[in-house]
Structure 1
Amino acid sequence: MIQRNLLSGLLIVGLLSSPAFADPALYERARKEGQVLVYSSFNAAEMVSLKDAFEKKYPGVKVEHLRLAGAKLMQRILAEHQAGRDLADTVLIKGETMHVLGQKGLLARYDPLEDDKNAIDKMFRHPENLWTTVYLAVHSIVYNTRRVTPKDIPRRYTDLLKPQWKDKIGVSTTKYIITYALMDLYGKEKGMDFLKKLAAQNPVARAGGTLIIELVGAGEFDLGFSVNADSVEAVKKRGAPVDWARLDEPSYGDIQATGVLSKARRPNAARLFSSFLVSKEGQQKIADLDNVVVRKDVEPKITLDRSKLRVIDPAEGNRIDYYMGLINDLFVKAN
């Protein structure tokens, strides 16, 4: 027993002395808390990879994970808070949801890049350190590689309006924020005109970007809109005949950020996990999962020019009901 405790102590001392290790005092406090509960919309299977990497780096701090879609996740956090039963310690969710949580005072100030501020551009960090971007979910168009010839792959969003795609498009109702992106790209009037013309193409609405991708792979549709590029890569790895369109016009990225909840029961473990997500090691692990990470010293595996990406303003979270209503009126009620 004495020998085992000695070896354990030597291991911890060795870890704490590592130059790539987070604040030793923070880790020691987190280890006493024992675990961290993460709420996120991150792919559950991929979270296992992050969990294993974190637990290997920080022995004694276990990761528990609850995955829900963005809107449902926010509803759960708000409901638990109103009931006085705040359970989650930290979150990894989209920027619009982070914005709403911050406005409601549910996020604690924490800068996981305190000693490495230049690693991630200021545009990806909250000015008051309520959240830090981990990666970008890039909106795109998915196509069936067996049914869409190279010359017909969409190069612009407006290519979806070509007569050949009538009745052959699937639309994700959960990617409602794309309506903001299109009105930002084309202007409000032209953006709305595009959306109305797209609705006239008789697309089939389904709840979920991954579902749309899988249906495109199964031949249910030739094209799918809007979906995340990293989700297409994941489905493609499983052997589905799908790929995503590399557009000639700007693509939009949805911020996926980490933050510590103000009522976290294990605040130190929450801070440690958030720090890991934006560390070079954590970002490399996330990049290996085909996500578009934001650290300057880590290159995403997806072939994408990050300098040409436009970022969806998290403040649009205040208008979630408006954008959800647009998608519903244009594509759901019409069906």
Structure 2
Amino acid sequence: MTRTKVTTALAGLVSAALVVAGCSSGGGEAPELAGSWDEIVAAATDEGSVTIYSNHAPANLEALKSAFEAEYPGISLNYVRGTDSDLIPRVEVENQTGNGVADVHMTTDAGWIHRSLDSGGYSVEVVAPAIDDPAYRAEDGVLDDTFFVTSATSIGLAWNTANVPDGFGSPEELLDPRFDGKVGVVNPAGFPAVVHIYRRMDVDYGEGFVGRLAEVNPRIYGSAPAITQALASGEIWAAPGASMDVLAERDKGAPVDFALPANPIGIPFYSHVLSAAPNPNAGQVLADFMLTPAGQAALSENYIAALPGIEGTGVDGSEVVAQDIELADPETLEATAVEEYVAVWERRFLG
């Protein structure tokens, strides 16, 4: 299992200001696991609980809790949901002091993932048997035997079905002059991840796409949820970088739809078992469960699963799985690079 190539996009909770202070664990060596997998499960049951820190959607974490506890009734799953900027400092302090609370940590912060891989000390090797299932594609989803992809989300093409009944087959179609003033985009100011999305549009949607997008005089919004609401109301007819939240609105009856283009731009959720875990065996059991079909059905509903063919996950017409959504290059998220890009973007879109 090797560290994956770092080329694609991050689309959400990325905190460029986080700095890893202290590279190694302050709590001594990570606790040893029980021997065989059956012994690990038995030891996890003796531990009796497991805690995950995650920035995933609350509904998905609650579904994961229910499914895990049904599979392992002797182990209670506790989750602490927050942004990366909330949770990463906790992980660092627990690592430095050795006073662990979390056993597993899930994050979308590409910069922190790679800094922690370079420094070491935050994670232990994941031994979950589910990783060896060929359907999981560990060669594409596991970094240095520690971080493993568990879910993903993606931006895509979205439209109001009343105004665009035939939908879109490619991003290029949104640039038609008939959509002048009817396309919605997010202002990237203050959002490094959105900057990266725009950078990738010029690669994955076609060279010069962002510049041509500015020529259709799009309406500018402050967030992806605002885009979703504008689509549902008919204020705009289309968006080239909408979030998968559009699918949830569609399922509620809103006149919207969503599709992934041939080269999707997205954000993977990576998890790791922590070296400061107070319940190291239960942490491994949770890691394994998240990669089973039952775990993926709970964790990845309305998201992109890490296993193919999981009902309720992914996007109709697309076979993309979480392993196809690669981590962003952290260098593109540095403050100076982001500021320079935003300045260029604002000249194009705001005049």
TM bracket, shorter-chain basis: 0.7 to 0.9
**SS of equivalent to 1:158:** helix
Q: Do the aligned partners of residues 32 and 170 (structure 1) sit closer, same or farther apart at CA in structure 2, a change above 3 Å counting?
A: farther
Q: Do the aligned partners of residues 74 and 212 (structure 1) sit closer, same or farther apart at CA in structure 2, a change above 3 Å counting?
A: farther
Corresponding position: 1:102 with 2:114: no
Q: Equivalent residues in 2 for 1:313-332 (5 A)? A: 313-314=326-327, 316-321=329-334, 324-325=338-339, 328-329=342-343
- 8 Å CA contact 1:250–1:309 kept in 2: the answer is no
**SS of equivalent to 1:304:** coil
Structure of higher RCO (CA pairs closer than 8 Å, 6+ residues apart): 2
Alpha-carbon distance between aligned partners in 2 of 1:154 and 1:43, rounded to the nearest angstrom: 28
Alpha-carbon distance between aligned partners in 1 of 2:44 and 2:246, rounded to the nearest angstrom: 36
Which of 108, 113, 138 is matched with 1:122 structurally?
Answer: 138
Corresponding position: 1:30 with 2:44: yes
Correspondence for 1:222: 237
Alpha-carbon distance between aligned partners in 2 of 1:81 and 1:219, rounded to the nearest angstrom: 49
Alpha-carbon distance between aligned partners in 2 of 1:330 and 1:75, rounded to the nearest angstrom: 32
State the Cα RMSD in Å: 3.4
- 8 Å CA contact 2:98–2:276 kept in 1: the answer is no
- 8 Å CA contact 1:205–1:331 kept in 2: the answer is no
Which of 204, 227, 234 is matched with 1:185 structurally?
Answer: 204
Which of 155, 169, 178 is matched with 1:164 structurally?
Answer: 178
Correspondence for 2:3: none
TM value normalised by structure 2:
0.72
Alpha-carbon distance between aligned partners in 2 of 1:180 and 1:311, rounded to the nearest angstrom: 18
Alpha-carbon distance between aligned partners in 1 of 2:102 and 2:75, rounded to the nearest angstrom: 15
- 8 Å CA contact 1:199–1:330 kept in 2: the answer is no
- 8 Å CA contact 1:141–1:227 kept in 2: the answer is yes
**SS of equivalent to 1:139:** strand
Which of 152, 155, 160 is matched with 2:169 structurally?
Answer: 155
Which of 273, 294, 303 is matched with 1:260 structurally?
Answer: 273
Shift of 1:37: 2.2
Q: Equivalent residues in 2 for 1:266-277 (5 A)? A: 266-277=279-290
Corresponding position: 1:64 with 2:83: no
Quick check: 296-305 or 47-56, which moved more?
296-305
- Structure 1: stretches of 5+ with no match in the other structure: 1-21
TM value normalised by structure 1:
0.75
- 8 Å CA contact 2:130–2:291 kept in 1: the answer is no
Corresponding position: 1:145 with 2:161: yes
1:181 counterpart letter in structure 2: R
Q: Do the aligned partners of residues 313 and 216 (structure 1) sit closer, same or farther apart at CA in structure 2, a change above 3 Å counting?
A: same
Which of 104, 122, 144 is matched with 1:90 structurally?
Answer: 104
Which of 166, 185, 205 is matched with 2:221 structurally?
Answer: 205
How many residues are paired up? 304
- 8 Å CA contact 1:196–1:330 kept in 2: the answer is no
2:62 counterpart letter in structure 1: V
Shift of 1:139: 2.3
Q: Do the aligned partners of residues 115 and 239 (structure 1) sit closer, same or farther apart at CA in structure 2, a change above 3 Å counting?
A: closer
Corresponding position: 1:135 with 2:151: yes
Shift of 1:279: 1.4
1:128 counterpart letter in structure 2: D
Q: Do the aligned partners of residues 321 and 154 (structure 1) sit closer, same or farther apart at CA in structure 2, a change above 3 Å counting?
A: farther
* Percentage of identical aligned residues: 22
1:271 counterpart letter in structure 2: Q
More helix per residue: 1 or 2?
Answer: 1
Alpha-carbon distance between aligned partners in 2 of 1:301 and 1:312, rounded to the nearest angstrom: 12
Alpha-carbon distance between aligned partners in 2 of 1:45 and 1:307, rounded to the nearest angstrom: 22
Correspondence for 2:209: 194
Which of 278, 282, 297 is matched with 1:284 structurally?
Answer: 297
